[in-house]
Structure 1
């Protein structure tokens, strides 16, 4: 049950649950307070990068890619120690103080909470670097990425001089031929076609990876009772309920759940059982029509029709109503 946002930039900024461990890989995003610019000139941008350099050395954080946008930034980073919160707190406080001193300003520079997306492993580094580097294109700031110098793209794509704190070897090692920089340029140019696939692996706006990785993180870090102020913990806990419900539904109804959720068209008793599960999920409020459509490979309108049709069946046929009541009574969610 993966919730699929359309963009990394649309992730909720409510109180965040930070998952930390040695060697953890993150996509980090932070915005200016009330959308304000977080640098006023190139001197500020250089100051920003100098502060990133200090954070990298002080907290043993590897930086793989970055882009400085007018009112936000993206970093692709690995913490060699389990210290994301300390590193990011130091960076935010230090850069804000330096920025304010330089520009005779006061107060907060960054929006309250930065976004941190936990990434499964290095297999996502290439895709994420492409996503990060294409930001100026998506924002319409430039028509050619070579014209935007405030990112690590020129280093990867044109072999520009790399600062000591930027780790480029891992991503460039994906290319075997000698002209790795040209191959990287071509990869970024073609990347728009792959972006949707990357976003499909984003779970609850906080974990990027396969479902097996999400389950591993859930087992290791999710407390028995999710914190009321941490919606991401609640979402992961809800995943357990949905998984258990689908598994139990398949056992009770004696249906292949994979067939149930993947087939666009079902007929006869298989369709009736699928509709029964859809109505149960809808009736318990566990999923919206949109999410039900994603899960069962159906359109929004098809889900609406399915729910309406099953309601009518129950109203007309006491056996169907009784079947649902018996089925529903076996789930306490």
Structure 2
């Protein structure tokens, strides 16, 4: 099995998830949860990481982590190993506590952090552990809404600054942001990361590609690199879209025709999988503007959420392009 690809750099943000081995509970007592939070606090000072949001469930945990020193793997490994040793000694057990390597998504903080934070804070509600996120004591939510005093190691300033100029206003607006949505229909913002590990807009994804992945060598250990390395031929995307929807390349490249799904999908995949700017892509699709490219990309994104069949077709096409 391929190991999850990680890109680490100073100032990166991550959504970290780790689950108990074989679905086993990793928090069985109040003291377990307290101990894990103690390890989080120590890790913040020892590795200079910043925790922006957390939620301890029963058989897994969520963290939103910032790494000023590009050391996510070292920090999370230390937390996991330290807690597993405590857990095993306390219960006279042996073996792995967590399943394999932890999962991490590289996050475009400006675009996704507040939405991820809301999704994480509503986890206990979706799990029917509480009726309201404010009732759950093992997440950072009570601190964000002022129910409890923010501990020094928890970084609430950045997120709250997105919701108001003063603390009181920010807390009120953040609470409304979290509690005004239906937790049962709220979609996971990290559901479809690019390459399996990047959650961000096109500019962010392309920056990651060009800055950290362009010189990497694709191999069997890291198949995600194939999806992210610059150099995917836009002609291949257009050809595949034509085959999939039964049209010629001239129809895909022709602008002005309404309900041209083959063209829209080709634009969507080209923007998602290549490093070309919106302006450059526009030249390939009949000299349209970068704004028009962005508009078609967003339109297809909305269709995907509503149309499962189309979503599966695009996912299959993406796999063919990546593995070509």
Relative to the length of structure 2, the TM-score reads 0.72
Displacement, 1:105? Answer: 1.9
For 2:201 and 2:111, how far apart are their aligned partners in 1? Answer: 11
Structure 1 residues 70 and 245 mapped into 2: Cα distance closer, same or farther (>3 Å)?
A: same
Matched with 2:107 is: 119
Structure 1 residues 141 and 244 mapped into 2: Cα distance closer, same or farther (>3 Å)?
A: farther
More helix by share: 1
Structure 1 residues 257 and 77 mapped into 2: Cα distance closer, same or farther (>3 Å)?
A: farther
For 2:127 and 2:33, how far apart are their aligned partners in 1? Answer: 18
Question: Do residues 229 (structure 1) and 221 (structure 2) align?
Answer: yes
Matched with 1:210 is: 201
Counterpart of 1:205 in 2: which secondary structure? coil
Structure 1 residues 257 and 187 mapped into 2: Cα distance closer, same or farther (>3 Å)?
A: farther
Matched with 1:319 is: none
Displacement, 1:85? Answer: 1.2
Q: Is the 8 A contact 1:201 1:210 kept in 2?
A: no
For 2:88 and 2:98, how far apart are their aligned partners in 1? Answer: 12
Displacement, 1:157? Answer: 1.7
How do 1:1-333 residues align onto structure 2 when only pairs under 5 Å count?
A: 14-174=2-162, 175-177=164-166, 178-192=168-182, 195-196=186-187, 198-199=189-190, 202-222=193-213, 223-237=215-229, 240-241=231-232, 243=234, 245-246=236-237, 253-254=249-250, 257=253, 265-266=259-260, 333=324
Structure 1 gap ranges (5+) = 1-12, 282-293, 306-332
Displacement, 1:221? Answer: 2.1
| CA deviation vs aligned residue, 1:121-175 (integer Å, no higher than 9, x gap) | 3442211211110111112221122221000010112341122110101111121
For 2:152 and 2:204, how far apart are their aligned partners in 1? Answer: 32
Structure 1 residues 104 and 20 mapped into 2: Cα distance closer, same or farther (>3 Å)?
A: same
Displacement, 1:256? Answer: 6.1
Structure 2 gap ranges (5+) = 242-247, 271-299, 314-323
Q: Is the 8 A contact 1:264 1:297 kept in 2?
A: no
Report 1 or 2 for greater relative contact order, CA contacts < 8 Å, sequence distance ≥ 6: 1
Structure 1 residues 243 and 176 mapped into 2: Cα distance closer, same or farther (>3 Å)?
A: farther
Displacement, 1:86? Answer: 1.0
Counterpart of 2:165 in 1: which secondary structure? coil
Displacement, 1:295? Answer: 7.5
Counterpart of 1:19 in 2: which secondary structure? coil
Displacement, 1:18? Answer: 1.1
State the aligned residue count. 273
Relative to the length of structure 1, the TM-score reads 0.70
Counterpart of 2:180 in 1: which secondary structure? helix
For 2:23 and 2:156, how far apart are their aligned partners in 1? Answer: 30
CA RMSD of aligned residues (A): 3.8
Q: Is the 8 A contact 1:26 1:118 kept in 2?
A: yes
Q: Which has the larger radius of gyration?
A: 1
Counterpart of 2:225 in 1: which secondary structure? helix
| CA deviation vs aligned residue, 1:38-64 (integer Å, no higher than 9, x gap) | 111000100000001111110000000
Counterpart of 1:75 in 2: which secondary structure? strand
Bigger shift: residues 83-92 or 64-73: 83-92
